[in-house]
Amino acid sequence: MQRRRFIRLAAGIFALGTAPFMGGGSEAATPKRYQRVKLVDAQGNGIKAAALQEDENYLFFYPYMGTPCFLLNLGAGHDRLRLASACDNPCGWPGGVGLERSIVAYAAICTHQVTRPSPRKSFINYSPKGGKSGEASGRITCCLHGSVFDPAQGGKVVGGPAPQPLTAIELDYDEETDELHAVGTYGGEVFKAYFKAYRKELRREFGPALAWQESAGEIVVMRLSDYTKRQFFC
């Protein structure tokens, strides 16, 4: 239902055209700006940061209509200094947003071999804190080959074969309305490799060209569990 609305919204907002150039895989020290997109729920209401459930996997598509991103509330218990002080890698990530600085977003595309959540399954997921696996707890894991990323440190790689951090999504937070906009990315991008790897699947899932269009206007945020049939945790 939510996905249908997402597709409908997308079709209403965007005209199909020539696919823009997608960035390469190297790290960048400065944010890369894309369209300013409002994050909304399935009814079209602005997502409130305070309403995001702690440790839930939320999903939206940015900066392209076919590129999935995690939206996470890491919770007030996180070390704010870590969240505010950027990652160890020189990615320029400024930390979480929201009143507790606990809201973060990352491309849900593994930087090892571009694993992504699909409507059928997701090997890449955020594992809630306090889970069975100590390494995975509070981390984003890709169970295909065991890469582990820390969402509290700019998507830094803390395990496995991934060669670079997840691409961080720059969020703009409005303190008055408690609403969120996505405005760009931090760090290296793997969108070019992603589109190459999933060309056929994305055509099937989104239509002939929609997945390659830049997101704009409003984008629906949904629970990952509503988008994908099966999540694999490791």
Token couple for 232: 């694999």
Query: Which residues lie across from 181 on neighbouring strands?
Result: 38, 172
Choose the binding region for ligand FES from 28-36, 131-139, 154-162, 212-220 (rule: CB under 6 A): 154-162
Identity of residue 200: K
Give residue 146's Cα distance to chain centre: 19
Q: SS3 string of 53-83?
A: CECCCEEEECCECCCEEEEEECCCCCCHHHH
Closest approach of ligand FES to the CB of residue 174, in Å = 34
Q: Which of residues 157-186 bind ligand FES (CB under 6 A)?
A: 160-162
Applying CB under 6 A, does 112 fall inside the site for ligand FES? yes
Sequence-separated (6 or more) residues with CB below 8 Å from residue 177: 46, 48
User: 3-state class of 230 per DSSP?
Assistant: strand
Applying CB under 6 A, does 121 fall inside the site for ligand FES? no
Q: Which is nearer to ligand FES, 157 or 221 (CB)?
A: 157
Applying CB under 6 A, does 108 fall inside the site for ligand FES? no
Q: Which is nearer to ligand FES, 73 or 147 (CB)?
A: 147
Applying CB under 6 A, does 110 fall inside the site for ligand FES? yes
Q: How far apart are CA 146 and CA 164, in angstroms?
A: 14
Q: Which is nearer to ligand FES, 146 or 207 (CB)?
A: 146
Report how many residues bind ligand FES under the rule CB under 6 A.
12
Of the candidate residues 33, 121, 145, 230, the single one contacting ligand FES (CB under 6 A): 145
Token couple for 76: 């007030």
CB atoms within 10 A of CB 4: 9
Choose the binding region for ligand FES from 29-37, 97-105, 137-145, 225-233 (rule: CB under 6 A): 137-145
Q: Which residues make up the interface to ligand FES (CB under 6 A)?
A: 110, 112-113, 115, 142, 144-147, 160-162
